[in-house]
Amino acid sequence: MSNTHLSSEALPKHIAVIMDGNGRWAEAQGKPRVFGHKNGVAAVRKTISSAARLGIEAVTLFAFSSENWQRPEEEVGVLMELFLTVLSTEVKKLHKNNLRLRVIGDKSRFSERLQTKIAQAEEKTSANSGMVVNIAANYGGKWDIAQAMKTIAIEVEQGKLSSDSISEDLITSHLSMSDIPAVDLLIRTGGECRISNFMLWQLAYAELYFTPIYWPEFGEDSLIEAVTWFVNRERRFGCTGNQIKALMENQ
Ligand code: IPE
Ligand code: IPE
Ligand code: MG
């Protein structure tokens, strides 16, 4: 047992999550896959509030990948509806808690209605100073690099930039989330050990944590477990889940 005070410096600044396993969680109970997506919303809420209480600077949640359009039309439709509903119900809460919401990804493929909702949510919370919550929707790591390249190429064409000035830092500055720290910890639920075209550049040095539990089962304890694992890997000393918990406000 150790009561040693753990510094919050040891915590990851930016946590990214691949929220996987909704479909399998539902199917295991003989329910349709969309039942899993609906139940995944509670896990999103718990993850955001636990991370905020831990004082994490940014959380990025993979909600819909560029490849997910290939799913059955009905499932995609439910996911889009869910996205709209959740934006409407949750934004007030995020705002009240001083959190900043941002949606990263190619938003142009979403309905006008959804695009408007997203813009309103981002605008409403833009001046907040608490944790940044990034929702990756129609996001792909390859898309992100490609859109950065395109912008850089336009600047070169226009003579604003010379090709000599293309550097790693310049590319980083044109990617999504260039203003927040690189990802320190990536969590993937659902048991698969792959990146599935989530952030590629930004994950260059992230610790990768894979857990077999399905996304709808993920909660505060699961986040603490992942963060404890991270701290012990980075600092190579044995901290406990309770020490991580002690860093939470309003325990
Ligand atoms: C993740 O769960 C949610 C999205 C990709 C939208 P899945 O729907 O991929 O669930 P599994 O992996 O099939 O169980
Ligand atoms: C990754 O999960 C994307 C999201 C969680 C949004 P997928 O279930 O789509 O990934 P694959 O198909 O297993 O690679
Ligand atoms: Mg999946």
pLDDT one-digit tens code per residue, 64-100: 999 999 999 999 999 999 999 999 899 999 999 999 9
pLDDT tens per residue, range 123-132: 999 999 999 9
pLDDT digits (tens, 9 = 90+) for 156-213: 999 999 999 999 999 999 999 999 999 999 999 999 999 999 999 999 999 999 999 9
What's the pLDDT band for 7 if we cut at 50, 70, 90? confident
Question: In whole angstroms, what is the distance from residue 127 CA to residue 166 CA?
Answer: 32
- What pTM value is reported for the model? 0.94
Q: Are 33 and 207 in contact (CB under 8 A)?
A: no
Closest to 180 in 3D by CA, of 141, 130, 138: 130
Complete domains list, the chain, with CATH: 18-140+175-218 (3.40.1180.10)
Per-residue pLDDT for 5 more than 90? no
pLDDT at 1: 45
Q: Which pLDDT score is estimated for 236?
A: 61
Q: Centre a 10 Å sphere on the Cβ of residue 142 and count the other Cβ atoms it contains.
A: 10
Residues with a catalytic annotation lie at: 20, 68
Looking from the CA of residue 192, the nearest atom of ligand 2 is: 13
Q: What is the pLDDT of residue 102?
A: 97
- Ligand with smallest separation from the Cα of 21: 1
33 annotated to bind ligand: yes
State whether the beta carbon of 229 lies less than 6 angstroms from ligand 2. Answer: no
> Does the CB atom of residue 69 touch ligand 2 within 6 A?
no
- Give me the chain's average pLDDT, please: 94
The DSSP 8-state label assigned to residue 202 in this structure reads T
10 pLDDT above the threshold of 50? yes
In this prediction, residue 105 carries a pLDDT of: 96
> Ligand 1 pocket: which of 17, 18, 22 to mutate (most atoms <8 Å of CB)?
22
Give residue-wise pLDDT tens across range 230-242: 999 876 667 888 9
pLDDT at 237: 65
Question: How far is the centre of ligand 3, averaged over its atoms, from the C-alpha of 173 (Å)?
Answer: 30
Amino acid 238: pLDDT: 74
Q: Which ligand is nearest to the CA of 138?
A: 2
CA of 84 to the centre of ligand 3 (A): 21
- Is the pLDDT confidence value at 2 over 70? no
Beta bridge partners of 61: 17, 135
Count CB neighbours of 221 within 10 A.
Answer: 12
Contact 146, 73 (CB under 8 A): no
Residue 135 CB less than 6 A away from ligand 2: no
Distance from the CA of 219 to the center of ligand 1, in angstroms?
17
Nearest-atom index, ligand 2, CA of 19:
5
pLDDT at residue 121 is higher than 70: yes
